[in-house]
Every structure is written in structure tokens, then in C-alpha cells.
Amino acid sequence: MRRTTLRGALAALLAVSICIVLIGQDLWYVSYQDGVKAFNAGDYPTAENKFLAALNNSLAPKARGKQVSYYGNYRSEFLPEYWLALTYAKLNRWIDVVQYATLAEKSLKKGDAEVPKLAAARADAQKNLNAALIAANGSGRGGPTGATGATGATGGVARGTGPVPEDPAVVNRRNFDSLMTDVRRFSASGQYAEARIAMGKARALNVDNPAVDAAERTVEIQDYQKQINTQLGARNWRGVNQLADQLAVLDPANPLIQSARRDAAHGIASDEARVHEREGLSAFYRGNYQGALDALARIADDVRTPRDLFYQACSNAAIGLMQNDKARLERARALFLQARSKDNPFTVERKYVSPKIVGVLDGTR
């Protein structure tokens, strides 16, 4: 009764925890779909928030396109960067338009209905950025004809000499260098989302795109390395292998790829070993000694523990006693000595094993 009550309490606590998580954070595809609805309704600030929420959701897929898996077998569109570019065009945030348009172009194919809309938004953004740059730096030297000034001998009016405007190329380069400094700073501190935003703005200036490409590669490599280490800590071996494959495309010689795959393989073997160990012990204590040996034999050598060897020894001893099989008894003793070489007395296990079997292992029978 007390166990049933405890299980019920734990189940209720788990349900409450799940509800809290779901309430605190929308599902990524719900945020995305709400963003599309808000955009089509003309509520662009809400659309921006929803698209960013979908993009930054830890469960959101990396895949983009018209047939992205939502849940189960259901698939639908997921193009958050495309919609953010259009949203920022409506909000007159031109640098952000260029940034997200650049990202969105990677997800679209020639002939997609989104391509001309995205191109129009980018062109409009670039036009406004150029106009803003010209306005900020002045359109030329001096004031207009007829401005107040010294009168010459011919009766003409001398032109005034205003400040010399700064070369737009110099301004662009300075802004570019500042943004690339931000990229390096964000990347060094593991703020990869912020680094990508700064790279998008740097790319929009069109000063040195090869440098941006190199920085983007570095950031992607560092991000994958961080994600791999996180998944290793969480023992998510499938995630480790997937990320290692993606890192290998960018940086085939990266030493983390081989070590991560090796750790994942060892982790998978260890997890499987514990399953086989539980099967083996369950079979042993039910008196199915051959079933115990079969289960324990499926454990790989490099992850076999002294405990596994101990129960292999016990199972062989039990069969040897029942069948009066001296070879089995010798096998049991050899396995036990192999396990004891790890300096494990098996004090707890001995309490639950037949004294006859223990006697075989100790050599007293």
C-alpha cells in the first residue's frame, strides 16, 4: 500500500512538473505557427517575438523547409529566418532584414514562392541602408549656390566650405571591424547565437565576406564541440554521433570527432551491459542458470565488470553441482578468481547466494 501511494505521488509530481514546463514554454511549432498568424494579421512585434521563440527553443529542429517533422508523422513548414526577414522589413529594421535574408536563402530552393519575396525585402533593405549611409555622411562639399559669403570683384558670391564628409567605405570598414571583434568575443564566451547575429550584420556591410565565412566556420565548429560535450555529459549517445557526423563535414580532422564516437560506442556498450546484467541476475535468482549465462555472455569484454564475472561463476557452479560436472565447477572457480583479481570481496552478493555455490567458489567443496 505504501509503495502504491509513493508511486502515485511520484506520478502526480511528474505530471505537475511536465505541466509547469509546458506552461512556461510553448512548443516550438506552436510559437512558429502563432508567428505566421500574427504576421498575416499585421501584428509584426508579436510575430517577431513568436518567430524568435521558435528559433531559440532548445527542442526546435535544425532542419528547414516545407516538410519538417513536427511530431509523430506530421510534417509542415518551418522557415523562421524567412519570416523574420519579412517581419523586420515591415519594422524598417534593415540590417536585421539582410542578416536573416542571408540565413533564409540557405533554406530555399530556386523556384520556391518565397524566393522573390525574400529578394524584394533584401533589395529594399539594402536600398534604405545605402540611403541612410549617404545621409549620415553628407552628399557633398560646401553649401548651396547663393549662400552668404564674401563678395568677389566680379560680384559673385563665394561658396562656403563645410566639413569634409567621411568616406563611406572607411565607415563601413570601421563598423565591420567592430562587429568582427564582437563575433570573436561572443564566440570565446560560448555566446554563439549572439556571434551569429553580429556575423549577419557584418555580412550585410559587404566589406569582407571571406572573413565572415571563415569566422562562421569557426563559430559553427566551436558550437558543435560544445553541443557534443553537453550530450556526452547527458549520456545521449545518439545525439553525440549525430553531432560528430555534422562536425566531420565542417572539420574532418577535428580530434573530438574520433574521441566522441569512441566514448559514445563505449557508452552504448555500457548501457547495454547493464541491461544484460539485470537480465542475467534476474534469471539467476529465478533458478534459470543457463539463461543467466546466456544474458551475461552478451556483455562486451571491455565493459564487463567483476560483478558480471561473479554471477557467471555462480551460474556455472550451480549447473556444475546439479549435473555433477567437474569441468563446470572448475570453470566457476576460474571465473571467480578472475573476478577476485579486481579485489572485490562480493560481501553483499554472498548473502544471497547458496552456501554450496559459495563453497565451490572458495574451493571448500
Q: Is residue 6 part of a domain?
A: no
> pLDDT band at residue 133, thresholds of 50, 70 and 90?
low
Q: Which amino acid is at 121?
A: A
Please check whether residues 22 and 103 belong to one and the same domain.
yes
Q: Which domain holds residue 345?
A: 270-362
CB atoms within 10 A of CB 197: 19
49 with 130, same domain: the answer is yes
Give the pLDDT confidence score for residue 26 in this predicted structure.
66
Is 31 in the same domain as 120? yes
DSSP string for 49-69: HHHHHHHH-TT--S--EEEEE
**How many domains, in total, are found in the chain?**
3
- Grid cell listed for 343: 579485489
* Mean residue pLDDT across the chain: 83
pLDDT-derived band at 288 (thresholds 50, 70, 90) equals very high
* 191 and 282 housed in the same domain: no
Comparing 40-54, 79-93, 166-180, the range with the smallest average pLDDT is 166-180
The residue-averaged pLDDT of 288-305 equals 93
Domain stops at, among 226, 253, 280? 253
Q: 223 and 332, same structural domain?
A: no
Nearest to 263 by CA among 283, 233, 292: 233
pLDDT for the residue 33: 93
- 163 or 244, which is more confident: 244
Asked if residues 50 and 34 have their Cβ atoms less than 8 Å apart, the reply is yes
Q: Are residues 290 and 329 in the same domain?
A: yes
The answer, yes or no, to whether residue 296 has pLDDT greater than 60, is: yes
Q: Which residue has the cell 555529459?
A: 233
Pinpoint the alpha helices (H) of 43-138.
Answer: 44-56, 80-90, 94-105, 114-137
Q: What is the pLDDT of residue 27?
A: 87
Look at residue 155 and tell me whether its pLDDT is greater than 70.
no
Nearest one of 43, 56, 32, 30 to 87, comparing CA atoms: 43
Least confident of 65-79, 104-118, 128-142: 128-142
pLDDT-derived band of residue 171, with 50, 70 and 90 as boundaries?
A: confident
pLDDT reported for residue 7: 52
Kindly state whether residue 2 falls inside one of the protein's structural domains: no
Return the CATH number at 129.
Answer: 1.25.40
228 with 282, same domain? no
- Quickly count helices (H) and strands (E) in the chain: 16, 2
Q: Do 23 and 127 have their domain in common?
A: yes
